[in-house]
Structure 1
Amino acid sequence: MKKQLLSFRDFLKTGSLGPIRPDMTMAEIVEVLGTPEHADPDYWTFGKLEISFDIEPPHQMNWFQIEEAGYLKGKSETVTDCFALALDGLSGKTKPSEFLGAGLWLPDQAKVFYATSGHDIGMNICAGLIQIHFHVATDFIGDQDTEAYLGASSTSQSMREIDSRAVLDSIYSYPSPKTEEVPGAFNWKLLSGSQYLALASGR
């Protein structure tokens, strides 16, 4: 069966993946995608697409995500049996600054949250209905404590170092804007998209 080609850029702009919207119910998802590959009562998977539902009827969607988005490559990537994603020049290797500079959102519509996450650094770009999650391994700081590194470095220096090492993890779409900190972190810091771009470029 020929897959319908969907735009990655449109998904990042709108939060909708073609006919898949984050405000759909479980029954509506069945109409579009059919039977899931794996189905828990409140969590379904279709290839790279994973969907969380409310446990109570009508099982409204909590969010959906493209899992392991860091492996997206080439001109297009299969997402489900029905859909492929036209990557539009973006990929799993795209850095936070490149997403922010791609003209997907207004300069300050996007917010960047970052914080220590275990021994490493977690980062989210929140823009409209979309959250893009990145992971930054901190091997480059040696034995230095991650929180101490963020505190001792200038924001410009740390953002340049973080941006070049950030690895795309997953991309979530929510029914309403989710502007929030890195999950599980209590020491999160916030930058606007334009602030982050200026700092990451050393301006």
Structure 2
Amino acid sequence: MGSKTATADLETENLVALMKKQLLSFRDFLKTGSLGPISPDMTMAEIVEVLGMPEHVDPDYWTFGKLEISFDITPPRQMNWFQIEQASYLKGDLEALTTRFALSLDGFSGKTKPSEFLGAGLWTPDQAKVFYAASGHDIGMNICAGPIQIHFHVAADFIGNQDAETYLKASSPSQAMAKIDSRAVLDSIYSYPYPKTEEVPGAFDWKLLSGSQYLALADGQQTSANKKGARRPL
């Protein structure tokens, strides 16, 4: 009885501490790329005004709790991007983000699947693009929508003795996406100062689907466009 009471008291204290922070909307962040007063077009000096000094400082990389920010090394030290790191651990209604801010998760969590993000009404059906590729022994997948890029990792232990690259080459999107979607694990979420509509060419053999194509495939549907397979980014 005593241990349960202590646990409940601790949970109450944590909730009170979270409520004292400024509350930011996760849904608004995913739609706009801005996290309350934090936007990806800010300079280092502007970030100091909003967040104070970071917990960890490198010349071009600062860390504030779960928030990590990359800056250009030349004045005025413009932001390259910011990210919510280790997003797979997001859970509950509220999540501490920095010493000053908490995140209202708005029904999302670290267990939210790519199809659930795409089906949540955050973006128009074809505003979002889905890139996927073999990444080492596993599969990488990213959703790009406006300035937002959501990274997922897919362990490829479900494909047996094949490596990930062979599996993707041998499988049509209609065969692969439902299996991949259910196994995708949220990794990090990035916000850029410009629309993030393509992947770095040459790094991996990225394949591209529109958001609406991906949703149809993850749901087990198949269209004439799906049968032709995903296309490579131009």
Q: Which category of TM-score, normalised to the shorter sequence, fits these structures?
A: over 0.9
- 1:40 aligns with 58
CA distance in 2, matches of 1:182, 1:71: 27
1:87-128 residue CA offsets vs partner (Å, 9 max, x unmatched) = 010000000000000000000000000000001000000000
Q: Which structure's CA Rg is the greater one?
A: 2
Matches within 5 A, 1:93-112: 93-112=111-130
Match of 1:191 among 209, 212, 216: 209
- 1:15 aligns with 33
Q: Match of 2:61, as an amino acid?
A: Y
CA deviation after TM superposition for structure 1 residue 185, in Å: 3.3
Match of 2:150 among 132, 136, 158: 132
CA distance in 2, matches of 1:106, 1:118: 32
- 2:162 aligns with 144
Q: Which has the higher contact order (CA 8 A, sep 6+)?
A: 1
Q: Match of 2:197, as an amino acid?
A: T
Match of 1:6 among 13, 24, 42: 24
CA deviation after TM superposition for structure 1 residue 182, in Å: 6.7
- 1:87 aligns with 105
TM-score by length of 1: 0.97
CA distance in 1, matches of 2:44, 2:23: 23
TM-score by length of 2: 0.85
Match of 1:63 among 78, 81, 87: 81
**Structure 2, gaps ≥5 residues long:** 1-16, 222-234
CA distance in 2, matches of 1:194, 1:5: 32
Q: How much identity, in percent, do the aligned residues show?
A: 84
8 A contact 1:115–1:185 mirrored in 2: no
CA distance in 1, matches of 2:200, 2:157: 20
CA distance in 1, matches of 2:201, 2:188: 13
- Measured on the aligned residues, the alpha-carbon RMSD in Å equals 1.2
- Greater share of strand residues, 1 or 2? 1
